[in-house]
Chains A and B, each alone.
Chain A
Amino acid sequence: MAAGRKTIRFTLNGKPVETEIANHHNAVEVLEAFGLFGARESCAQGLCGCCTLLVDGKAVSGCLYLAAFLDGAVVTSVEHLERDGALSPVQEAFIEEGAFQCGFCTPGFVLMVEQLLDRCAAPSEDEIRHYLSGNLCRCATYPQIIQAVQRAAEKRKASAAA
């Protein structure tokens, strides 16, 4: 293999995959090569959360995550939240609350909110603000995002009770 390149194998959205990467690539570039564009590199510095993906169940900034680190990992992108054509409660809540304008930041926020609600089923507004402080929305839909988190928490509670 050419110098500075490597083959990696990992689980992508539930399926085993293999691909050749350049050693300097980051995780966003790997997802793009698989036709997944939900994670996008925006600030490129770990600050905005637009490039969020889950690696072994934990949220990371794809822009700062070396592609080689994906080898052997379980990787989930926002595209994997939908099940049999149905959106996740968090995705539905974002739509119902109108928690976006241009939508550029939305995949990152949605993945972070999934993580937050996995950790804490009914977060307070302070906990929501704190947890999402590393995600930026240039359209400033923050009030609607907070409402969407609260609505998503209720939806999850309702579906757990059902």
Chain B
Amino acid sequence: MMSFEIAEPQTLSEALALLDPEDPSVRAIAGGTALMLMMKSGVFRPTRLVSLRKLADAHTRIDARANGELAIGALTPLAALEDAPMVRSRAPVIAETLRTLSNVRVRNVATVGGHLAHADPHMDLPPVLIALRARVAVASRRGTREVAVEDLFAGYYETVLARDELISALIVPAQGERRAAYFKCTTRAADDWPALGVAVAVDGAGSAIREARIVLSAATSKPARLRAAEAILGEGTADAVLARAAEAAAEEADVMADGHGSAAYKRQLVRVYVQRALRRALGAPGVNERAQR
């Protein structure tokens, strides 16, 4: 690693002032779990790291707003998100997903903001948060804006954020009747990067589905909603409908072949895992769940 400067601003506005819209070698560092790997491998050679650590006190709160939304500070460690009773009761799928996200040490250090800004398509929370209609608050010297997590990712390891913008919070709306589930499939070892992840959320009681979201990750260059499959669920939750939705998902998914499997294999995984995730979300035990018990 080359020589670089570490700045330690005390406030969000000081941090924003230290970023540089033109210079890709200046970056924020939160937990550093992703950046350390990129620096060690030489993919990223910084001239300045803007450490967000001293902002942690002000940006690690998890608040329930009056309208039922959860507002989660960007520097909240993933482990704190996993353990928060409010998250477990209001969006249990987030806590369930975190259980198998990396390991205890990474979750102790990695932050919500760093997780979302890293934009590695293999990561677990982005598809789940898209299914839950979550959004992020983004700050810059120009002011603040909100971006739906669905619109945050521009491509492989790319977000729509400008170099001088920071995520300040994650907002998860009240889930109401929405039921959600996430599955990932690893093809080598259990803790390997997944060949695919599928998050689903169905809104509506029983078999009357008002809205469904089906989000695919890992097999695609960025998390992607499978809208043809989502539309089919308007017809209900009968087995034949779920099977047709899974078929549509396999057809529309823009899967990539890589070391985790060929495109044809991943298409088959989509077909199987979309059905499993839908069944789990709808409350019937999914096949995997039965197998695991």
Residues of A participating in the B interface, judged by any CB pair closer than 8 Å: 3-4, 6, 22-24, 26, 44-47, 49, 52, 58-61, 63-66, 68-69, 112, 115, 130-131, 133-135
Contact = CB atoms under 8 A, between A and B. Distances in A.
B40 A69 contact: no
B3 A3 contact: yes
B1 interface: yes
A69 B3 contact: no
A97 B5 CA distance: 47
B106 interface: yes
Contacts of B108: 58-60
Contacts of A24: 1-4, 39
B51 A46 contact: no
Interface in B73-87: 79
Nearest to B1: A24
Nearest to B3: A4
B5 A23 contact: yes
Contacts of B40: 44
A134 B3 contact: no
A64 B32 contact: yes
A47 B190 CA distance: 13
B6 A134 contact: no
Interface string B1-18: 111111010000000000
Contacts of A115: 104
B105 A68 contact: no
A69 B108 CA distance: 14
- With most chain A CB atoms within 10 A of its CB, the pick from B2, B29, B36, B105 is B105
A4 B37 CA distance: 19
A64 B108 CA distance: 12
28 contacts: A4-B4, A22-B3, A23-B4, A23-B6, A23-B49, A26-B36, A46-B33, A46-B102, A46-B103, A46-B105, A47-B103, A47-B191, A58-B79, A58-B108, A59-B105, A60-B109, A61-B109, A64-B32, A64-B33, A64-B37, A64-B106, A66-B29, A115-B104, A133-B103, A133-B190, A134-B103, A134-B105, A134-B106
B57 to A, nearest CB: 12
A3 B5 contact: yes
Nearest to B54: A72
A148 B65 CA distance: 45
Nearest to A3: B3
B51 A69 contact: yes
Contacts of B59: none
The 5 closest A-B pairs by CB, nearest first: A134-B103, A4-B3, A24-B1, A64-B36, A58-B108
A45 B39 CA distance: 11
Contacts of B190: 133
B6 A6 contact: yes
B118 interface: no
Nearest to A67: B6
A66 B33 CA distance: 9
